[in-house]
A and B are shown apart, each in its own frame.
Chain A
Amino acid sequence: MTSSTTTKTNNNQNRKLWRFHGGVHPPFHKEESNQLAVISAGIPEQLIFPLRQHIGKDAEAVVAVGDIVYKGQVIAEASHHGLSANIHASSSGKVSAIEEHVLAHPSGLKGLCIIIDTDAKDDWGDCKLEPYPEYQNIEVSDLVKRLQESGIVGLGGAVFPTVVKVAGAVDKPIKTLIINGAECEPYITCDDRLMREKSAEIIQGIKVIQQMVKPEECLIGIEDNKPEAIEIMRKACVGDSSIEVVAIPTIYPSGGEKQLIEILTGKEVPARGLPMDIGILGQNVGTVYSIYQAIVEGIPLVSRLITVTGNGVQKAQNFDVLNGTPISYLVEQAGGYTKMADHLIMGGPMMGFALKDDNIPVVKATNCILLISTTVLNESNSAFSRQPTLPCIRCGKCMDACPVNLLPQQMYWHIRAKDFERAESHNLKDCIECGACGFVCPSHIPLVDYYRFAKSEIRDQAELQRKADQARQRHEFLAFRKERDKREREEKRAAHKAALQKKKEAAAKAKAEAGESGSVATSAADSKADAIKAAMQRAKAKKLARAKEAAVATKAENAND
């Protein structure tokens, strides 16, 4: 399915580009938020830090209620029981509570959060890490350690701990380093603004990664609807032959890691495989900038760029936002809500999820807060807005749009029939949930919601099966243990019985011997009397020996005196 086109690059060479299957062209709405320069959102009165802002296990809180914390201080350490990442206080203040708070999650469930009342001083204390401006002279292991300390995760949306990804690539032969600046999701422009304003820093960040994994080439993929960013990035890497900025055609979802790899290299990442398996390492530009900050400036991941946009907000703009800032505060900075704010979405209209409440903090994964009216959301992605759906007419449009080459409608029918096994046999697990199928669906069927539903059902079934197997094992072991204890008890009893029997026999034998010399009646009494006599003699002998010992001891003492 991969076809190729050619495009001009900064070196005026023709770089061959490929095309992934499917893809769609939703209204992009980028100009609404990409005109103004990034400003800082400031320090809210309260910062809320969920303990899980990354893929894997909860971080473990290392502060207590009432503690004074500085900006950049680690407030929750990466768990040792699996993938995890450090979480840092993004401003100074006092820990006012560690309690359950609503999370930025489609379920709207609560989770454990550290809440900090800020003191507006933004005081770093001595929590800034040592900057490595001469990172070329720093050992790779120290750089890896720094990434671990700074709690950096993939800011493109997957929030996979970056240290794991990069450290995993250090010893592997990496041919291509791909920097993802595609930003294909409608409305979102934070990567665009970042590239325009921090191009030199991004290049430095790339150099750090190059030093660590030593790739043969580095490609920065940017969609051609961001000509300013392409221009500026090209200027920033003039004279550096190892980095090349590649303008790629605008099509959703070109910013998906596997899709971008296919566009730039023509290689497909194997199903359930990693880009590393085919010699590629991908990093989002936002992540690269955080790596630059952590290594060169010694600043851990405490803030990121977030786009606040949509017709539901007064002034759409990109903000430099402290981690843990409540959305309500962020919207205030953007001039507040308009009457059109029907939906509050974290992320974009294709892959984002709706939130019920604005008293929810932004997290490391948040790249966009979208406030949008129902009408405009319908135009952007009709499957998202949950308007009444019509029956599937098997037109097959979803199949043409799927960037992973799946059969969306087949999976849809199987899932409707609750036949998850067959849905799985159509490679449901490879679905990247990009929403392209739902976007083209003329019946507005929320196809991705079906796939998410099926995936969570399958996961749940697997979990139940695992629990059942575990219970069976434990039950069988219990039965085995009971059986074993019983057997052991019986064996003991048998041994005891045998010993008793032996004694009896011996006694009988003695009796018989005694019977030979005297009468049967007296021999038993005699043997008993003998035994008592013998015991008394033994006691006497012992006593005597002890007395003698004591006498010897006193004598010795006297002699010493």
Chain B
Amino acid sequence: MIVAILVLTGLALLFGLILGYASVRFKVEGDPIVDKIDSLLPQTQCGQCSFPGCRPYAEAIAAGDAPINKCPPGGETTMLALADLLDVEPLDLDEEAAEQSDVPEVAFIIEKDCIGCTLCIQACPVDAIVGSAKHMHTVIESECTGCELCLPPCPVDCIIMRPIKTTTDNWKWKSPHNIEADYPVIPMPTETELEKRA
């Protein structure tokens, strides 16, 4: 009896030491799940999820504080990818998220109206606007994520959103599935009908 107690206590101590050592030795810096979630988000940094950027939203999802359906730019694809990663049920898109148009857009500054106030430059989360005080600003199209964060600060409303131009480089083949959908369906005769015909 005493031997058993001693052995078990000894084992408990031993494993406790091993685990304690391992938790120090193999300590994970940061939260890998946040990184994984963050890598699935579209990185527009638009804040439409009510969090100040993609990473804070990822942290909130990881902590269980936010649902996975609040990313309008990511749309259904991102939501499904998140559901897949976190092994949770897919949700319907948030109202706001569902309204997002499919056509990707980028900001464009109407240069003759720009007064050079630099407010949009400060608002841009990815440094995609160049210009300096009292000089015309312009958007670097290839860097713009289309987050629309530069629209509200502009005092003269000279920033508009324009759809990205389709060229032969980014043109996509349509799914042929829709032409397949309307093939004529010939109803198969049932056995009784066949007997009748006979």
Contacts and interface: CB of A to CB of B under 8 A. Distances in A.
Contacts of A474: 126-128, 143
B125 A475 contact: yes
B173 to A, nearest CB: 4
B58 to A, nearest CB: 11
A109 B166 contact: yes
B168 A103 contact: yes
Contacts of B176: 446, 449-450, 453
Given A467-B145, A474-B126, A477-B127, A457 B43 contact: no
Given A449-B173, A453-B176, A460-B170, A469 B182 contact: no
B14 to A, nearest CB: 44
Interface residues of A, number: 35
Q: Considering the complex of A and B, which 6 residue pairs feature the smallest CB-CB distances, nearest first?
A: A471-B43, A449-B176, A474-B126, A468-B43, A456-B172, A388-B183
Contacts of A449: 173, 176
A445 B180 contact: yes
Given A446-B176, A449-B176, A475 B184 contact: no
B171 A478 contact: no
A191 B143 CA distance: 46
Interface in A447-480: 449-450, 452-453, 455-457, 460, 463-464, 467-472, 474-475, 477-478
Scoring B38, B125, B168, B171 by chain A CB atoms within 10 A of each residue's CB, the highest score goes to B168
A111 B168 contact: yes
A52 interface: yes
Given A109-B167, A472-B38, A453 B174 contact: yes
Nearest to B165: A109
B170 A475 contact: no
Interface of B: 38-39, 41-45, 53-54, 125-128, 143, 145, 166-168, 170-177, 179-180, 182-184
Given A453-B174, A472-B43, 20 more contacts: A105-B168, A106-B173, A111-B167, A389-B180, A416-B177, A450-B175, A452-B173, A453-B172, A453-B176, A456-B172, A457-B172, A463-B170, A468-B43, A469-B43, A471-B43, A471-B126, A472-B54, A474-B127, A475-B53, A478-B125
B166 A475 contact: no
What's the dominant secondary structure at chain B's contact region? loop
Contacts of A464: 42
B173 A456 contact: yes
30 contacts: A105-B168, A107-B166, A107-B171, A109-B166, A109-B167, A111-B167, A111-B168, A386-B179, A388-B182, A389-B183, A445-B180, A449-B176, A450-B175, A450-B177, A453-B175, A453-B176, A456-B171, A460-B172, A464-B42, A467-B43, A469-B43, A471-B42, A471-B43, A471-B145, A472-B54, A474-B126, A475-B45, A475-B54, A477-B127, A478-B126
Given A386-B179, A470-B143, A475 B172 contact: no
Contacts of A109: 166-168, 171
A1 interface: no
Nearest to B42: A468
A271 interface: no
A466 to B, nearest CB: 11
Contacts of A111: 167-168
A455 B180 CA distance: 19
A481 B39 CA distance: 22
Nearest to B104: A464
A390 interface: yes
Interface in A165-218: none
A340 B177 CA distance: 28
Nearest to B125: A475
Contacts of B173: 106, 449, 452-453, 455-456
Contacts of A391: 183
A472 B127 CA distance: 11
A24 B44 CA distance: 48
A388 B174 contact: no
Interface string A101-114: 00101110101000
B52 to A, nearest CB: 11
A132 B72 CA distance: 63
A472 B184 CA distance: 49
A262 to B, nearest CB: 28
Nearest to B128: A474
Nearest to A418: B175
Contacts of B38: 472
Nearest to B181: A389
Interface string A81-115: 00000000000000000000001011101010000
Contacts of A467: 43, 145
Interface string A135-172: 00000000000000000000000000000000000000
Contact of B45 (A105, A463, A471): A471
Nearest to A481: B127
Nearest to A107: B171
A474 B127 CA distance: 7
Nearest to A477: B127
A469 B166 CA distance: 22
Contacts of A469: 43
Interface string A25-58: 0000000000000000000000000001000000
Contacts of B39: 468
**Of listed A391, A469, A475, residue having the most chain B CB within 10 A:** A475
Nearest to B180: A389
Contact of B44 (A453, A457, A460, A471): A471
A93 B159 CA distance: 43
B42 to A, nearest CB: 5
A218 B127 CA distance: 56
Contacts of A472: 38, 43, 54
Contacts of A445: 180
A507 B143 CA distance: 55
Nearest to B126: A474
B127 to A, nearest CB: 5
Contacts of B127: 474, 477-478
A337 B63 CA distance: 69
B140 to A, nearest CB: 10
Contacts of B145: 467, 471
Interface in A362-407: 386, 388-391
Contacts of A388: 182-184
Most buried by A among B125, B172, B174: B172
